[in-house]
Structure 1
Amino acid sequence: MEKENMPPGDDFMVRCRKLGNPVPFSYCRIENRGSPCSKIIDCWYDYFMVEDFLRQEFEPDEWERIFNQPPKPKVLSLIELIEEAKKRKTEEQ
């Protein structure tokens, strides 16, 4: 059976390796502060030609920035998320 070139609709979900919940492809495309999740290819390759699809969506320099960078340490990611939440809370007041 040949894989599709296009992602499935939002009614089709896979288990998110970060959250542990089912999520649609549309979420995975913006999970990383508006950029695709670093695990998007690993999670979706069984369902459609995700790498081919994403390579058409991004310029080579964007691809490099999104997919070929080493992941941040978990603690650093958590600190950044906490700082962003504090900033949002301050802006709301």
Structure 2
Amino acid sequence: MGSYGELVIRCPRLGGEVTFSYCEREAGEFPCRQVVRCWEAGFPVEAYLRETMTPEVWERFCGQVPQDRITTLLDLVEAAKRRRNAE
């Protein structure tokens, strides 16, 4: 399957444009929980993720329980700080 990392879409959670590579690792070891919903119109994202993840990781990804909004916002802030410090 091709490389989709540089594809760009507007993120409904962040309100701006992001690349697929960002969405793939937004949640640390997992993609963003909305990655399939956001990208399915652009390319076969579920097939791509199943191909690149082990079956065990795919099952853990699909079984995630959504966090409340405050926890999600705090996690996003922390992730942004880590990325900024890494640059």
- SS of the residue aligned with 1:14? strand
Matched, 1:61 2:59: no
Rounded Cα–Cα distance in structure 1 between residues aligned with 2:57 and 2:73: 24
TM-score (normalised: structure 2): 0.73
Counterpart of 2:66 in structure 1 is 71
What is the DSSP-based 3-state SS (H/G/I as helix, E as strand, rest coil) of the residue aligned with 1:56? helix
Matched letter for residue 44 of structure 2: M
The structure with the larger Rg is 1
Identity, in percent, stands at 39
TM-score scaled by structure 1? 0.69
Q: Aligned-residue CA RMSD in angstroms? A: 2.4
**Most deviating of 72-81 and 57-66:** 72-81
Bigger fraction of residues in helix: 2
Please, which moves more after superposition, 22-31 or 67-76?
67-76
Asked whether 1:32 is paired with 2:32, we answer no
AA in 2 matched with 1:71: P
**Structure 2: gaps spanning 5 or more residues:** 83-87
Separation in 1, partners of 2:51, 2:72: 28
Match of 1:42 in 2: 37
- Indicate the structure whose relative CO is greater, using CA pairs within 8 Å and at least 6 residues apart: 1
Q: How many residues are paired up? A: 80
Q: Is the 8 A contact 2:10 2:17 kept in 1?
A: yes
